[in-house]
Chains A and B, each alone.
Chain A
Amino acid sequence: MSRSTSVALPAQPVAPAQAARSSEGDTNTTSLFECRGIDVSFGGLKALSDVSVRVDEGEIVGMIGPNGAGKTTLFNVISGFLVANSGKVLLDGRDLTGLLPYERARLGLGRTFQQALLYRDLSVLENLLIASHRHTRRGLFSNGLRLGAAAREEREALERARATMDVVDLTPYWEKKAGALSYGTLRMLELACMLVQAPRFVLLDEPASGIAQRETEALGPLLRRIREQMQTTILIIEHDIPMVSGLSDRMYAMDLGKVIAEGAPAQVLAHPEVVASYLGRPETVGLEESPKPARRRPAPRRTAGAPRGGGSPT
């Protein structure tokens, strides 16, 4: 994947813990991300059953499924907000079990910021810079005295923020307070705050929800641009089927906590179980057989004086 020359982004955050490469050769060694056999139960309710997902480096993988299928639960497990009952999550061969969300972020796992994580009274730029807090190190004294290392770190952070804004087209808004942004732009900011940490693997949870059609159409190309310019691998949950199927290299479909289909978008969409999960089966929906066309009854004779409307067969 060639880098566009217009953007200079460090491929890695400034002080990450390098992911330890697994030396296992048995499973798919090229996959950047993998989760195997994830089980999650909430009391008696089984939210996820034996879910396994694989994403190779540089792919964009889509995940669809009706509400309640467990997609967001899976994301919560992957990002570390939820502990699974069993199963493993591997990033670059490294087992993420037990790591806290920001520790996973440091290893290169990105998840879009929900709006609750943005600072409404601070500017877009400042939000971005705060988002990269964990990737800088200098403390009070080096910064207070503006020692060389601190100044350099500041410049780098600023550069990263500028480049990220550029990719996401947020630059015109750099000064605006986050609270003053339109909803669509706010979603872009969420995206940007995640990207400024230069994650290698990114979870996007319904990025197109709630934004206007015009902006949705721009989302696909934007995500592809992100993949190319920032060398980011993407796993995306979406309900906008045309958008996600046009965007993804591969897709997964889930229903009732299980993966029910996997493969190329066209394949997955045509899969009968996938269709059934969205539209239901005829038996369950209450249609016994195909409905007959209604027969027309002759219109009743009208008394004199009634208006003759069109369509009364005589």
Chain B
Amino acid sequence: MSAGVEALRVPRQVSGARPVGKLFGIAAAAVAVTAFAIPALTGSYWTYVFTYFLVYAMIGLSLVLLTGYVGQISLMGATLVGLGAFTSAAVEVHWGWPFWAAALSAGLITLPFSLLIGFPALRLRGLYLAIATLAFAKLIEELVFKGWPWLTGGFSGMQVHRPHMLIPFESDARYFWLVLGVFCAVLAFTYNFSRSRVGRAMRATRENELAAQAMGINIVKYKMLAFFLSGVVAGLAGALQIHLSKAGSFEAYRFYLSFLIFVMVVIGGVRSMWGALLGGVFLILQTELLRGVEFLTRFTDIAFGVGLIWVVLSNPEGLAGYLRDQWAWVKEKPRWRALVAVAFVAFDIGTMWLLVHFGGQKGAG
């Protein structure tokens, strides 16, 4: 005798999806509206910060795709971002390409590098791979970043203008929307494929390689796919980033950034794309809140370190995992679900209010 399938609400989507009730539809819509409204609500400083957040979330996403989805540790994320950033800058500055072409080439330039690191990665165990990526990052830094001024502008770096495609995206507000659009597209794409057989094959590869192979899953194909995807997203993020700050030199793309991204994503939850978002929030909150208070800036790194150790000791899936566990508890209780939805909307409105009232001034309160 089997329980009715309807009664158990086996979801339409799989892999951790939760059924979206009406309340949450509303909450999600509220967040979406806020997101779009940000530039209208607040001054250019905060718009800039939010754009920054989106770029970093995207960089984090590239790491999630690689480390989270197929379990390949990479500590060269910043290098790929840098490659993308410089490529987009170089083709614009030297060849006059339009932004969309520059961004595209930024993504594509990472492909040969992903290939280069991907194949050795197949042979290396987890920890050894981490070291290999560090070595690769160092090599690229020495040979490409420092050794090829055409691409990277040497020590003075490259300068670019904000994009102009049909309409100018010069202003912080317009650029924010551009980045938001790209980010949402990438997020949607990731959401879709991660819930499909492709995502499942990747997870299977990560969880139990031998089993996946025995079942006919081509682990080489899926690992390389993850490397490519991760690289393209990183490169694209790099292009977006350099156009945000309008300038960049290779100093910005060194080890520290790779580690920062890694930290951010691990704390947020390396296995889930929401983890990239949460990590980005953690990062931005850190830097913005602590920036205002001089005394606290030195604690940023301590917070990161402690965050990492917390993740490792208590919940390997980071904030995303923690929230997911809490949600598993909440979702069976309709009153609590309603409460959470309301809290979500309240938080959203609260943030909007804060932005409107204080956003005009620079810096945190």
Binding site for B on A (CB under 8 A): 101-102, 105-106, 116-122, 125-126, 129-131, 133-134, 136, 138-140, 143-146, 150, 153-155, 157-158, 162, 165-166, 169, 171-172, 174
Chain A residues with CB under 8 A of B190:
144
Contact B215 A102 (CB under 8 A): yes
Give the most central of A116, A120, A146, A165: most B CB within 10 Å. A146
Q: Does B57 sit within 8 A of A, measured CB to CB?
A: no
Interface digits, B86-97 against A, CB 8 Å rule (1 contact, 0 not)? 000000000000
Inter-chain contacts of B3 with A (CB < 8 A): 171-172
Judge whether B189 and A144 touch: CB under 8 Å: yes
Contact B196 A122 (CB under 8 A): no
Q: Is B22 located at the chain interface by the 8 A CB criterion?
A: no
Residues of B within 8 A of A119 (CB): 203-204, 207-208, 211
A143 vs B201: C-alpha distance in the bound complex, in angstroms? 13
In contact, B10 and A174 (Cβ under 8 angstroms): yes
Residue B5 lies at the interface, judged by CB distance under 8 Å to chain A: yes
| Bound-state Cα–Cα, A117 to B3, Å | 27
* Residue from the set A119, A121, A136, A169 with the largest chain B CB neighbour count within 10 Å: A119
Interchain CA distance A126-B216 in the complex, whole Å: 16
17 A-B pairs with C-beta separation under 8 A: A116-B210, A116-B211, A117-B215, A119-B208, A125-B10, A129-B200, A133-B200, A138-B198, A140-B193, A140-B229, A143-B192, A143-B197, A144-B189, A144-B192, A144-B198, A169-B1, A171-B2
B-chain residues with CB within 8 Å of residue A144 when the two chains form the complex: 189-190, 192-193, 198
> Restricting to B1-25, which residues have a CB under 8 Å from any CB of A?
1-3, 5, 8, 10, 12, 14-15
Across the interface, which residues of B come within 8 angstroms of A106, CB to CB? 216
A223 to chain B, nearest CB (A): 16
Inside 8 A of A102's CB, which chain B residues have their CB? 214-216
For B200, what are the chain A residues with a Cβ–Cβ distance below 8 Å? 126, 129-130, 133
Rounded to whole angstroms, the CA-CA distance of A133 and B208 in the bound complex is 15
Contacts of B192 in A (CB 8 A): 143-146
| Pairs A-B, 9 closest by C-beta atoms | A102-B216, A143-B196, A144-B193, A144-B189, A117-B211, A143-B193, A119-B207, A134-B216, A146-B192
Q: Which residues of B contact A125 (CB under 8 A)?
A: 10, 14
Alpha-carbon gap, A53 to B149, bound state (A): 73
Q: Which of B8, B195, B204 contacts A171 (CB 8 A)?
A: B8
A residues less than 8 Å from B83 (CB atoms): none
Given contacts A144-B193, A146-B192, A169-B2, contact A129 B14 (CB under 8 A): yes
CA distance A120 to B196 in the complex (A): 19
Closest CB of chain B to A73's CB: distance in Å? 19
B278 within 8 A of A: no
The answer, yes or no, to whether B225 is at the interface (CB within 8 Å) is: yes
Contact A105 B216 (CB under 8 A): yes
In angstroms, how far is the closest chain A Cβ from the Cβ of B361? Answer: 41
**Could you tell me if B210 and A158 are in contact, using CB atoms closer than 8 angstroms?**
no
A133 near B197: Cβ-Cβ < 8 Å: yes
Across the interface, do B204 and A133 meet the contact criterion of CB distance under 8 Å? yes
Pick the contact of A118 from B8, B14, B211 — CB < 8 Å?
B211
